[in-house]
Structure 1
Amino acid sequence: MIEKTGVFSVVGRPNVGKSTLTNTLCGAKVAIVSNKPQTTRNRITGVLSQDPYQMVFLDTPGLHKAKNALGDFMVKVVNKTVADVDAAILLVEPVARIGIPEQMLIDRIKGEKMPCILVINKIDTVEKEELLEVMALYGQAHDFTAVIPLSARTGEGKQELLRELEKLCMPSPALFPEEMISDQPERQLVAEIIREKMLQKLDKEVPHGVAVEIEKWQEREDGLVAINAVIYCERKSHKGIIIGKSGAMLKEIGSTARFEIQKLLDAKVHLELWVKVKEDWRNHPNQIRNFGYEDE
Structure 2
Amino acid sequence: MSDASFDQDSIAGNGDASFGDYFALLKPRVMSLVVFTALVGLIVAPVPVHPFVAFCSILFIAIGAGASGALNMWWDADIDQIMRRTQKRPVPAGKVHRNEALAVGLALSGFSVVFLALAANFAAAFLLAFTIFFYAVIYSMWLKRSTPQNIVIGGAAGAFPPMIGWVVATGSISVESVLMFALIFMWTPPHFWALALFMKSDYKDAGVPMLTVTHGRKSTRRHIIAYTLLLAPVAVGAAFTSIGGPIYLVAAVLMNAWFIKGAFDIWRRDETTAEADGYKVEKSVFKFSILYLFLHFGALLLEAVLRPYGLGGWS
TM value normalised by structure 1 = 0.31
More strand by share: 1
| Structure number with higher helix proportion | 2
Normalised TM-score (structure 2): 0.30
